């Protein structure tokens, strides 16, 4: 069996509400160099204010989880907000410079090699995000097994009612003489009438 970091499929996102927007923080998926931070604006806000919120939120979340972050902003219908009047890109890449220990904000195109690879360290992420809710590989496998078991039971019941019982009735009809079938029918009707009178 692998170690605990191999068992984790994904950390569940953290969501918080601000006065004019919601924030969703998604820890990095395995093999990704950065976390994702989304700001969903429910009110109309100026582009300059959105840019300021994005930088402030990036700093807050990097202070909380020292992992590079890609921050994006969305309107109330989920469309990416166009920041071209204020910035070169519609997203912000932020991280702590390992030499200066100061947060850098990149509104321009940046290569993966320029982003610190600390998020690729599974042990560090496990320690950093240890208290967050997560999806575990073994839990997914157990859920799939349980679903398969329930499906097999359902298929067995369906086959029994749609194939086995009708076939059994045909066999019984073939072997039971007509006079016996008439007695059974008469008995059933008599019982129904008696129950109806009570």
**CA 21/CA 43 separation, integer angstroms:** 7
How many other C-beta atoms are found inside a 10 Å radius of the C-beta of residue 92?
Answer: 22
* Domain final residue, candidates 114, 132, 150: 132
* Domain final residue, candidates 112, 132, 152: 132
The count of domains in the chain is: 2
Dihedral sign of CA atoms 119, 121, 124, 130 in order: positive
Q: Check whether residue 128 and residue 54 sit in a common domain.
A: yes
pLDDT score for 194: 73
Confidence of residue 2 (pLDDT cuts 50, 70, 90): very low
Q: Check whether residue 13 and residue 46 sit in a common domain.
A: yes
How many other C-beta atoms are found inside a 10 Å radius of the C-beta of residue 150?
Answer: 10
Q: What is the mean pLDDT of the chain?
A: 82
The arrangement of strands across the sheet holding 91-96 comes to: 14-17, 21-26, 35-41, 69-74, 91-96, 103-106
**CA 77/CA 152 separation, integer angstroms:** 41
Angle at 135 between CA 146 and CA 61, to 5 degrees: 165
pTM over the 0.75 mark: no
Q: Check whether residue 8 and residue 56 sit in a common domain.
A: yes
Mean predicted confidence (pLDDT) in 46-62: 96
* Domain final residue, candidates 95, 114, 132: 132
Q: Cα separations (Å) of 134 from 42, 117, 129?
A: 28, 22, 9
pLDDT > 90 in the chain, percent: 40
Whether residue 94 has pLDDT greater than 80: yes
Q: Check whether residue 47 and residue 92 sit in a common domain.
A: yes
Whether residue 5 has pLDDT greater than 60: no
Confidence of residue 1 (pLDDT cuts 50, 70, 90): very low
Q: Check whether residue 66 and residue 161 sit in a common domain.
A: no
Q: Check whether residue 62 and residue 80 sit in a common domain.
A: yes
**Parallel, antiparallel or unpaired: strands 8-11 and 14-17:** unpaired
pLDDT > 70 in the chain, percent: 71
pLDDT score for 111: 86
pLDDT tens-digit map of 99-122: 899 999 999 988 888 899 988 888
Whether residue 198 has pLDDT greater than 50: no
Domain range spanning residue 63?
4-132
Confidence of residue 23 (pLDDT cuts 50, 70, 90): very high
pLDDT score for 93: 95
Mean predicted confidence (pLDDT) in 5-9: 55
């Amino acid at each position: 069996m692998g170690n605990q970091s191999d068992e984790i499929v994904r950390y569940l996102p953290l969501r918080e509400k601000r006065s004019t927007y919601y924030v969703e923080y998604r820890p990095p998926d395995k093999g990704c160099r950065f976390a994702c931070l989304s700001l969903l604006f429910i009110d109309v806000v100026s582009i300059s204010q959105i840019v300021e919120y994005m930088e402030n939120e990036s700093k807050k979340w990097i202070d909380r989880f020292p992992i590079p972050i890609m921050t994006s902003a969305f309107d109330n219908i989920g469309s990416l907000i166009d920041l071209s009047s204020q910035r070169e890109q519609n997203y912000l890449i932020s991280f702590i410079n390992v030499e200066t220990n100061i947060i850098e904000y990149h509104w321009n195109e940046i290569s993966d090699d320029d982003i610190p690879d600390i998020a690729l360290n599974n042990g560090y992420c496990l320690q950093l995000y240890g208290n967050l809710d997560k999806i575990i590989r073994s839990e997914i496998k157990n859920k799939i097994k349980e679903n398969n078991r329930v499906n097999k039971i359902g298929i067995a019941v369906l086959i029994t009612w749609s194939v086995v019982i009708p076939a059994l009735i045909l066999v019984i009809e073939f072997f039971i003489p007509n006079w016996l079938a008439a007695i059974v029918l008469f008995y059933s009707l008599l019982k129904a009438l008696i129950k109806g009178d009570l």
